[in-house]
């Protein structure tokens, strides 16, 4: 087949295009072959108490509990994620990890892609209604993966309500003398009212 020179050039370009595209998918930086565009990553976390007991979602914790966070980074390819993870600790009226964190701690990921746990936080004081403690982990990303952030983990420290006051559960014993005094007063008032009613009934007769 006798093809014109321009047509032959077009055919050559079309045949070479897959090779060019494949080559562009990876670049070499300092001897490391990395994707031209970082792939997606995800961060999952789990909270534990100082006794290594997992903290179920939404369950209040006893007064004085200390906690730590753990994280796991997963990439969308077989390449092991590297970089850092930052544990952010929040406290406030919002359970969405918004605003500035109370504390932050950055750890370096290990060679196998695992993430060291955060430092221990606590002991934590009881929270009032609509007040929360929260953790959130942020992955820095690397040459292979883009940065990512974990869901917000929120929890409260248990409290008890007595007489309209918010009182720590383990401090309720301090109120018992006052509760006993209140019961005694109510008993005296009840006896007085009953005696007065009985006397009025006798007078009416």
Task: Provide the domain count of the chain.
Answer: 1
Q: Does 89 reside within a domain? A: yes
Q: Does 16 reside within a domain? A: no
- CA distance linking residue 50 with residue 125, whole number of Å: 15
Q: Does 172 reside within a domain? A: no
Q: Does 72 reside within a domain? A: yes
Residue 59: give the domain boundaries: 37-157
**Greater confidence, 3 or 65?**
65
Lowest mean pLDDT among 52-61, 127-136, 146-155, 178-187: 178-187
Q: Does 200 reside within a domain? A: no
Q: State percent of the chain over pLDDT 90.
A: 47
Band of pLDDT at residue 68, cut at 50, 70 and 90: very high
Query: For the domain that residue 143 is a member of, what is the CATH number?
Result: 2.60.40.740
Q: Does 56 reside within a domain? A: yes
Alpha-helix runs per DSSP H in the chain: 5-24, 176-204
Q: Residue 165 to residues 87, 93, 128, 161, 168: CA-CA distances in angstroms? A: 34, 18, 10, 6, 10
Lowest mean pLDDT among 21-30, 95-104, 135-144: 21-30
Give the pLDDT confidence of 4-55 residue by residue, as tens digits.
666 666 566 656 555 544 444 444 444 344 556 789 999 999 999 999 999 9
């Amino acid at each position: 087949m006798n093809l014109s020179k321009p047509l032959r050039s077009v055919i050559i370009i079309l045949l070479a295009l897959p090779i060019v595209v494949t080559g562009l998918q990876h670049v070499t930086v300092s001897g490391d072959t990395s994707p031209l565009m970082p792939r997606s990553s995800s961060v999952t976390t789990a909270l534990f108490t100082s006794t290594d007991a997992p903290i179920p979602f939404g369950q209040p914790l006893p007064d004085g509990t200390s906690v730590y966070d753990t994280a796991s980074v997963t990439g969308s390819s077989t390449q092991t994620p590297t970089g850092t993870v930052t544990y952010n600790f929040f406290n406030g009226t919002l359970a969405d990890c918004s605003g500035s964190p109370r504390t932050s701690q950055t750890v370096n990921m290990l060679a196998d892609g695992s993430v060291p746990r955060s430092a221990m936080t606590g002991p934590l004081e009881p929270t009032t209604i609509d007040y929360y403690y929260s953790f959130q982990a942020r992955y820095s990303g690397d040459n292979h993966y883009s940065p990512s952030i974990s869901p917000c983990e929120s929890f409260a420290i248990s409290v008890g309500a007595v007489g309209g006051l918010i009182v720590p559960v383990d401090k309720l014993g301090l109120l018992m003398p006052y509760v006993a005094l209140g019961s005694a007063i109510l008993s005296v008032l009840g006896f007085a009212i009953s005696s007065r009613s009985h006397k009025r009934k006798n007078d009416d007769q």
